[in-house]
Chains A and B, each alone.
Chain A
């Protein structure tokens, strides 16, 4: 199963360390392979450092791609977290 969806980053500080850590916490709960993409750069969604190197500020768009048996659930949880502005601001 492959899920692809694009999100806009809405929290003021963008994908900073604490937020990225939350993403990794969620991604890591799933068996699916998870990738984050921004401006053509693709990184492993279960690696904190890799997500940080995407350098996503407020307003940037990232595409998440989940591949695997629980891809849909993963996408749903990640989507919720992002739409929720990671519980910040």
Chain B
């Protein structure tokens, strides 16, 4: 009764976070992860029991592998067996076991959590290896680790095959690191139960060009592995078990999308100059060195936001100055890019997920994060600052401090940076002459005192995601309030206008590096505000450039004046979307309603 023909076709609506259309097979990813619970041990007395449980799971896993080996031997003869031997050997590997046991003992986490940490540890080690073959061995570690996890959680569930390149991943939630991993695995698209438009998973999905829909609530319960599935990442739709006609429609859409992408790429290398010669600098937002080539090909002139958190994430040890330095040097010296703005440590909030040593906060977005954390952990901060200063010898470097809420934080951060530079100079270590220092404007109080801040920095960069969230009091990962997230809220527009006006009066550059900067519908508004630099997800650049090149500053100013006179977000939204779709009919049809 379960043939393909009889499967019911249905559509799920979520939040489209990364455009593009994929048609493929569903694959329920890490299902046991969702069921496996990760928890801390209440007290040390539970450690022995936990270790015993882990060892039992090792035994059980070995038994299963031996069974598989024997079965395979009957079926296939000798050759493929050795890989199973390797897996068995990993299972018995004393370092592999020791690490896990140590995690249980020292960090007081359950065996599942400890296992996952060991897998992550090896993933990281093998990623650094140059040899492609050895790099691939991490899949063996993962394979073994997953088997152990499954056995820890009671076994019985069927084996998880390796992810195939044609699969669309369905998961409850994915960490940014998982998403990054998908790029490596060449996954075609993904859809998750949880998440919102500005979660970091969404940002990473766009960065690695994987179509994605999040916030589907129950897709993991409604879709099974191998179901046919279509993801429309622009519209936020997932079609499950589509009929042939539907597939045809989407194949057309897919072709259309790809053609449009190609079309926009032609604008990529052209300058972002309006018809009346107003020039906007265009930057790309990145977090991985690997994104640089696509950032250049999509037309970025520089890196407007290099997020440094990924250097820290998923490690048990803090990165060394050398690790920092190598990353920063690659970014500032990248061929085809004129400058790079490096944002210092902004860990906290939803990025704050991998280090069990740091205490959980009730409200991490407003907790001890970013500059606050750095000014508390000065030595840690200095490591990063030294590496940035050293990298500045290799290309035009700008540094910016996140989450500045008052002048003291800025002064303190600058003071530490000056000390670091003085030390380096005393040691004769080369540095760039002209490292510009700026602040992220993302806390509303920073907007209010922007005139004071402007006296002490070279530039502002408006981080709209956080600014909107703080100004409108929205919890960014609470799906029930995401509807309030509204970049066109008159309060938000006034805040942005205020920052730009004050910056210009003080004679400094004002950039924008939030999601808002890459939204084609807002381009003319930002032009009207006379923004100096827009930095965005590189994929968005060609379309934004195309719109800039077809606009004029004077027209943009008129549009701005019009909307600033409106009193509500919905009026503004309606006006803008109406205006833009009439003005640029081609650009604003693709995404549908």
CA distance A18 to B88 in the complex (A): 12
User: Is B485 in the interface zone, CB < 8 Å from A?
Assistant: no
A49 contact from B83, B130, B141, Cβ within 8 A: B141
Interface of B is mostly: helix
> For residue B125, which residue of chain A has the nearest CB?
A53
Instruction: Give a binary string over B75-96; 1 marks a CB under 8 Å from any A CB, 0 the rest.
Output: 0000000110110011001111
Q: Cα distance A16–B140 when bound, in Å?
A: 13
Q: Give CA–CA (A79, B133) in the complex, Å.
A: 24
> Is A63 an interface residue, CB under 8 A from the partner?
no
B103 at the interface (CB under 8 A from A): no
Cα–Cα, bound, A58→B129 (Å): 15
**B134 contacts which chain A residues (CB < 8 A)?**
16, 52-53, 55
CA distance A12 to B90 in the complex (A): 23
Tell me the smallest distance from the CB of B139 to a CB of chain A, in Å: 11
CA distance A21 to B87 in the complex (A): 10
B583 at the A interface (CB under 8 A): no
- Interface members, chain A 1-47 (any B CB < 8 Å): 13-14, 16-18, 21, 24, 44, 46-47
Interface size on A, residues (CB 8 A): 17
Query: How many residues of chain B are within 8 Å of chain A by beta carbon?
Result: 21
Which B residues lie within 8 Å of A14 (CB)? Answer: 131
Complex Cα distance, B125 from A52, in Å, reads 10
Q: Is B562 an interface residue (CB 8 A)?
A: no
Q: Residue B122 at the A interface, CB < 8 A?
A: yes
Q: Is B93 within 8 A of A48, CB to CB?
A: yes
Q: Tell me which residues across on chain B come within 8 A of A16, comparing CB atoms.
A: 133-134
CA of A45 to CA of B81 in the docked complex: distance in angstroms?
Answer: 23
- Do A53 and B96 have beta carbons less than 8 Å apart? no
Q: Is the CB of B126 within 8 A of A53?
A: yes
Identify which of A17, A18, A47, A55 contacts B96 (C-beta below 8 A).
A47
Shortest CB distance B366–A (Å): 40
Determine the chain A residues whose CB is within 8 A of the CB of B315 once the complex forms. none
Within 8 A of B (CB), among A51-74: 52-53, 55, 57
Q: Are A49 and B129 in contact (CB under 8 A)?
A: no
Partner of B90, one of A18, A44, A46, A49: A49
Least CB distance from A26 to B in Å reads: 13
Q: Is the CB of B86 within 8 A of A18?
A: yes
**B93–A13 contact, CB under 8 A?**
no
Q: Are B129 and A24 in touch, CB under 8 angstroms?
A: no
Contact A47 B95 (CB under 8 A): yes
Chain A residues, Cβ within 8 Å of B129: 53, 55
| Chain B residue at minimum C-beta to C-beta distance from A49 | B93
| Bound form: Cα–Cα A24–B96 in Å | 14
- Interface status of B455 (Cβ within 8 A of chain A): no
Partner of B137, one of A24, A44, A52: A52
Residues of A within 8 A of B85 (CB): 21
Q: How far in angstroms is the closest Cβ of chain A from B323?
A: 16
Nearest neighbor of A48 in chain B, beta-carbon distance: B89
Can you give 5 A-B contacts (C-beta < 8 A)? Answer: A14-B131, A21-B82, A48-B90, A50-B95, A53-B126
Residues in A lying within 8 Å of B, measured CB to CB: 13-14, 16-18, 21, 24, 44, 46-50, 52-53, 55, 57
